[in-house]
Amino acid sequence: MSSTTCLALSGGVGGAKLALGLSHAMDPAKLLIVANTGDDFDHLGLRICPDIDTVTYTLSGLANPSTGWGRKDESWSFMETLESLGGETWFRLGDRDLALHVERTRRLGDGESLSAITDAIATRLAISCRIAPMSDDPVRTIVETPNGPLAFQHYFVRDQCRPAVTGFRFDGADSARPGPTLKAALTSAALKMVVICPSNPFISIDPILAIPTVREMLTDCPAPVIAVSPIVGGRAIKGPTAKMLAELRRPSSALAIAEHYRGLIDGFIIDTADAGSADAISELGSQVRITNTVMKSIQDRVSLARDVVAFAQELH
């Protein structure tokens, strides 16, 4: 039986920050972080899993503090050599980071599941909580633009989010199954809270919710589902959330995020900068907690995580 009491759904940088805070604010052995894999792609013959890796590096203390992605103390001999040979260099793979992709690809080729590989790597890096992919089946986020669809990493990294967004689709989601660890947590009587981290709702959380049965299991589970707004004072702390909201003709606000999650969440955490929208959010049917959600330091991450845990205990 799963011992998970807190399930956190995460994308990359923002989600990883709160995940790290949660690992300090509670017994990490009872924390499960499920990462989006809609960003995954095959590049240079390697399977790249950006959100899983950002969470893994952050929880292991290996994350690059200046970029939020990749490893600290990185070197770039591989990319420099690849460039000298005329290879593709738009997606940066550091030498140390490269080893993870090589090992993951080798194990996938040997028939291991992404769940098993992710768990094994987390154990090797002495991470005390569990990390799992949303699914072992491939799901690929496609960004719809006025000039046609773009594979996610082409939109996000190669084109640096410049194309306007008109919508999204998640290829493979219809036939994907929830990862076994995610499914076990959502059906466990031990589960006390589900946290939707302050990740981009369109490209980090929606791919998870697009997997059949996941949204239904979240709605049916007795544990409270709490989301943390990725929008603070009308702006995204990192990433294209605000830009996407504008291009989708929605206001860039915490209220718009709450409306996106309407019917799914029991509680919504907003920053003090957005306190004025608390009543409007409450009218959508979820309770509201106002606190500092900007995570610049480890103390900020732990403080927000403690607020999340306390809020969930009040709602349970």
- E-strand ranges in 152-266 read 167-171, 193-196, 225-228, 231-232, 235-236
H-run or E-run covering 252 = none
- pTM (two decimals): 0.95
* Per-residue model confidence as pLDDT tens digits over 22-68: 999 999 999 999 999 999 999 999 999 999 999 999 999 999 988 87
Euclidean distance between CA atoms 35 and 52, whole angstroms: 6
* Per-residue model confidence as pLDDT tens digits over 147-170: 999 999 999 999 999 999 999 999
pLDDT of residue 68: 78
Which are the contacts of 98, defined by CB distance < 8 A and separation ≥ 6? 46, 78
pLDDT of residue 211: 97
Euclidean distance between CA atoms 20 and 148, whole angstroms: 37
Instruction: Extract the tokens encoding 43.
Output: 């590049």
Which are the contacts of 105, defined by CB distance < 8 A and separation ≥ 6? 45, 46, 47
Residue 8 sits at the vertex; the CA angle it makes with 174 and 170, to the nearest 5 degrees, is 20
User: Do 188 and 226 form a contact (C-beta atoms < 8 A)?
Assistant: no
- 316: confidence class by pLDDT, cuts 50, 70, 90: confident
Instruction: Give the side-chain half-sphere CA count within 13 A for 73.
Output: 3
H-run or E-run covering 141 = strand 140-145
Which are the contacts of 143, defined by CB distance < 8 A and separation ≥ 6? 149, 150, 151, 152, 155, 156, 163, 165, 168, 203
Residue 172 in this model has a pLDDT that exceeds 50: yes
* Per-residue model confidence as pLDDT tens digits over 210-253: 999 999 999 999 999 999 999 999 998 888 999 999 999 999 99
DSSP string, 19-78: HHHHHHHS-GGGEEEEEP-TT-EEETTEEE-HHHHHHHHHHHT-B-TTTSSSBTT---HH
Residue 65 has a CB neighbour count (10 Å cut-off) of 7
Q: How would you class 251 by CB atoms within 10 Å of its CB: exposed for 0-12, middle for 13-18, buried for 19 or more?
A: middle
Mean pLDDT (the chain, rounded):
96
pLDDT of residue 1: 45
Euclidean distance between CA atoms 186 and 172, whole angstroms: 22
Euclidean distance between CA atoms 33 and 132, whole angstroms: 6
Please state, in angstroms and as integers, the Cα–Cα distance from residue 211 to each residue in 17, 172, 187, 244, 285, following that order.
24, 9, 16, 22, 24
pLDDT of residue 69: 84
